[in-house]
Amino acid sequence: MKCRFKFRNIAASICLMTLSGMVYADDAAANLALPTAASFYSRNFQTFKSRSFNPPAFNSTTYLLAANESEIVEGPVGATSANIETVTPAAQFKPPLLSGRKIHQYLGLGTVMLAGLTVLAAPEEACEQNCPPPSQQPPRQTSGTTHTRLARATAVMAVATVMTGLVFHWNDIHWEDPFTDPDKLHARLATTGALLMLYAVNKSAHSTEPTSHAGIAELGAVTMVVAIKLTW
Amino acid sequence: MQRKWKVVALLAAALSLVSAYAGAEEDFVGWLLNFQRQKNVKPVSDKQYQDECGECHFAYQPGLLPAKSWEALLNADALRKHFGVDAELDNDTLKVIHDYAVDNAADKSWHKRSRKIAVATEEGPAPLRITELRYISRKHHDIPEKMIKGNKGVKSLSFCDKCHTQAADGVYDMDTVAIPNYPGWDD
């Protein structure tokens, strides 16, 4: 039983990783001419190594910044506001209904929703007072109930959320950003929340006696809600 | 059973609080209990700011720069040499625009992108160009030069709304980007 449970979880994780990888590879394959993630990191590192924050002028060709835009922004000498080119409105464009970033968003919201349903589906305590010893109590159900199914689905979805976040928002998190950067906080809290939920599910699934796991799982869910709120 | 009702009651209480704060001013409690998306930048809501700035260029949302930057940009002396252009305004108009920009600057906003800009510019001198912000420059780092400077439909990073189709609403999501002459491009 334990082996089956482990195998099922591992298989589900592999499927999710493959799915995330395929989506990312599909995106990358459509833009063969564009730099890869590796080139971004190497150039970024070289650039930031010798760069202070927000310097007055940039001279690197890897940046398309004000320093090489001055002739466009400032206009010719003697120009006035009246003869500078007016910006025309952007072309009509419909955002895609589904994208990697939106999948991440939906997975995150789905995780929180499933966590809420898992709490609501929690079984009633069989005995609160004058309980018989654990050996005389009926065997604990660690699978097959609505609660356990929802809990496992929540844990898997939480892992999928974290993974899709890493894939589709990898360029939103940088070492040089301060600790309070919203994206950094979001990533840290969401990962912590997912790990707490995984721990709670794992702890409960491998215990034959009633075990305290609800608090940890609920803390994980709340942590995830805070993470979502920070970047909502 | 009692536990379930407690959860339902908590959810109901949270929802009623959220609806009460839905239209609240932008403060911490308002932000905390507001489920409306605040991921981007607060759109321009002042008509005078929109009209005066938008007359010459895209009316950049105040949340794209910290207050210290707007202080440095929106004063009579600075506007006489506003990036090489004389953009002088009468005192009353200048005061309205200055106050609006400073009151809604990145470091006073709860919108996510503004917060990112604010924490990244807390230290150091006031950035005077949005395109100089580390956050903005990094976001555009991977776009080949030919798609911006060499693109007749764009010409410069300064023209946000050329590619960010919902820039006027303060939305700068990747999913809303459409680079002129490069259809189907995705980072």
In this complex, is the C-beta atom of B180 within 8 Å of any C-beta atom belonging to chain A?
yes
Share of chain A above pLDDT 70, in %: 59
What 3-state DSSP class applies to B7? helix
Put simply, the answer to whether A69 touches B86 (Cβ < 8 Å) is no
Neighbour-count burial of A174, counting CB atoms closer than 10 A to its CB (0-12 exposed, 13-18 middle, 19+ buried): middle
In this complex, is the C-beta atom of B129 within 8 Å of any C-beta atom belonging to chain A?
yes
Lowest-pLDDT range, A42-46, A134-138, A196-200?
A42-46
- Domain boundaries in chain A? 2-29+97-123+139-230
Which of A 151-180 lie inside 8 A of B, CB atoms? 171, 174, 176-178, 180
- Domain boundaries in chain B? 2-32, 47-176
At A35, the pLDDT band (50, 70, 90 cuts) reads: very low
What 3-state DSSP class applies to B122? coil
Residues of A whose CB is below 8 A from B161 = 87, 89-90
**Which residue did the predictor score with more confidence, A208 or A102?**
A102
Q: Does residue A213 surpass a pLDDT of 90?
A: no
- B113 contacts B167 by C-beta, under 8 angstroms: no
Residue of B80, B86, B157 to mutate for A, most A C-beta atoms under 10 A:
B157
In this complex, is the C-beta atom of B181 within 8 Å of any C-beta atom belonging to chain A?
no
- Residues A89-97 have a mean pLDDT of 67
The gap from C-alpha B186 to its chain's centroid, in whole angstroms, comes to: 22
User: What is the number of CB-based contacts under 8 A between chain A and chain B?
Assistant: 159
Nearest beta carbon to residue B55 from set A81, A116, A174: A81
In this complex, is the C-beta atom of A212 within 8 Å of any C-beta atom belonging to chain B?
no
Which of A 25-54 lie inside 8 A of B, CB atoms? 27, 30-31, 33-35, 40, 43-44, 52-54
Q: Does residue A183 surpass a pLDDT of 70?
A: yes
Q: Does residue B7 surpass a pLDDT of 50?
A: yes
Share of chain A above pLDDT 90, in %: 28
Lowest-pLDDT range, A62-76, A139-153, A173-187?
A62-76
- Residues A126-130 have a mean pLDDT of 63
What is the pLDDT at residue B99? 94
Nearest beta carbon to residue B112 from set A122, A180, A182: A182
Task: Give the tens place of pLDDT for each residue, B110-154.
Answer: 899 999 999 989 888 889 999 888 888 888 888 888 888 888 888
- A65 contacts B137 by C-beta, under 8 angstroms: yes
Distance between CA atoms of residues A45 and A22, nearest Å: 27
- Residues B88-96 have a mean pLDDT of 91
Q: Which residue of A has its CA nearest to B172?
A: A95
Query: Which residue from A60, A67, A64 is spatially nearest to A46, judged by alpha carbons?
Result: A60
Closest chain A C-alpha to B35 CA, distance in angstroms = 8
Q: Does residue B80 surpass a pLDDT of 70?
A: yes
At B97, the pLDDT band (50, 70, 90 cuts) reads: very high
Put simply, the answer to whether A54 touches B132 (Cβ < 8 Å) is yes
Q: Does residue A40 surpass a pLDDT of 50?
A: no
Mean pLDDT over the full length of chain B: 85
Task: Give the tens place of pLDDT for each residue, A44-59.
Answer: 444 444 444 434 433 3
Share of chain B above pLDDT 90, in %: 32
ipTM confidence score = 0.76
Q: What is the DSSP string of chain A?
A: -HHHHHHHHHHHHHHHHHHHHHHHHHHHHTTTTSPPHHHHHHHHHHHHHT--SS-S----TT---GGGTHHHHH-STT-BGGGSPPPPPPPP----S--HHHHHHHHHHHHHHHHHHHHHTPPPPS-SSSPPPGGGSPPP--SSSHHHHHHHHHHHHHHHHHHHHHHHSGGG--TTS-TT-HHHHHHHHHHHHHHHHHHHHHHHHT-SS----HHHHHHHHHHHHHHHHHT-
What is the pLDDT at residue A171? 83
- Residues A33-51 have a mean pLDDT of 42
Nearest beta carbon to residue B148 from set A54, A64, A89: A64
What is the pLDDT at residue A127? 63
* Token pair recorded at residue A1: 């039983």
What is the pLDDT at residue A18? 66
In this complex, is the C-beta atom of B121 within 8 Å of any C-beta atom belonging to chain A?
yes
**Which residue did the predictor score with more confidence, A225 or A14?**
A225
At A29, the pLDDT band (50, 70, 90 cuts) reads: very low
Position A41, amino acid:
Y
What is the pLDDT at residue A60? 38
**Which residue did the predictor score with more confidence, B1 or A123?**
A123
**Which residue did the predictor score with more confidence, B57 or A11?**
B57
**How far does chain B reach from its first CA to its final CA, in angstroms?**
50
Which of B 52-71 lie inside 8 A of A, CB atoms? 55-58
Q: Which residue of A has its CA nearest to B127?
A: A54
Put simply, the answer to whether A101 touches B138 (Cβ < 8 Å) is no
Put simply, the answer to whether B122 touches A124 (Cβ < 8 Å) is no
Specify the residue for token string 């976040």: A165
- B58 contacts B167 by C-beta, under 8 angstroms: yes
Task: Give the tens place of pLDDT for each residue, A138-168.
Answer: 777 777 788 999 999 999 999 999 999 999 9
At A189, the pLDDT band (50, 70, 90 cuts) reads: very high
